[in-house]
Amino acid sequence: MTEHWKTSVTVAAVIERGGRFLLVEEETPDGLRLNQPAGHLDPGESLLHAVIRETLEETAHSFEPRALLGCYMARSSSAGTLQRPASDVTYVRFAFTGDLGPLDTARPLDTGIVRTVWLTAEELRACQDRHRSPLVQSCVDDYLAGKRFALDAVFTHPTVLSAPQEAA
C-alpha cells in the first residue's frame, strides 16, 4: 500500500447546563469554528487526563468527567493550498460528559480559542456549517439521547503514563 493512513486521537467534553451546551469558538485554517472543548491526546497521559486538561486550557474551567459519552470517528480531507499542504486525517474522538467547575478568571484561554459560548441544541443544530467537525452534533445528539458509559470502560495501562525507555 503506497498511501499512509493517518489517525489522530482526540478527546472532547460535552457539558450541558440549563439546556445549553458549552462550546468554544476557535480559529482554524477554515475560519472561526465551533467545537466542544476538545483536543489531542498528548504522550504520557490518559484519555481522562487529556479531557480534563483540554477543558481547562480551552475554557478556564476545571472539569470532572462522570461518564464516557462514546467513541466517534470522522475523516477530514482538504486540498492543499499555497498556505497549507493537503491533509487526510481520520479522527478518533473519545467524548466525555461531566461536571464543570468554577471559572478561573486569571487563566487565559488556549491559543486560537476566541471565546466560550453556551448554545441550545437547536441553536447548535442551526449552525452546523460552523462546526469544527461533524462529530460536534453527533456528540450532542447522543448526550440528549441519554447515552452514557461508565468511566471504568476506559482503561489506561501504567506503561502509557511512564517515560519511554531509550534503546540501549
Q: Which H/E stretch holds residue 75?
A: strand 61-78
**Nearest CA-CA partner of 98 in 47, 62, 68, 64:** 64
Q: What is the pLDDT of residues 58-83, one digit of tens each?
A: 999 999 999 999 999 998 866 555 55
The structure's pTM equals 0.88
Instruction: Give the pLDDT score at 1.
Output: 43
Q: In what side-by-side order are the strands of the sheet with 87-103?
A: 38-40, 6-14, 87-103, 61-78
For the chain, give the mean pLDDT. Answer: 91
Is 2.40.30.170 the CATH classification of the domain at 6-77+87-150? no
Written as one letter, the residue type at 66 is R
Tell me the three cell numbers of residue 50. 487529556
Q: What is the pLDDT of residues 137-165, one digit of tens each?
A: 999 999 999 999 999 999 999 999 876 66
Closest among 70, 34, 38, 67 to 51, alpha carbons compared: 38
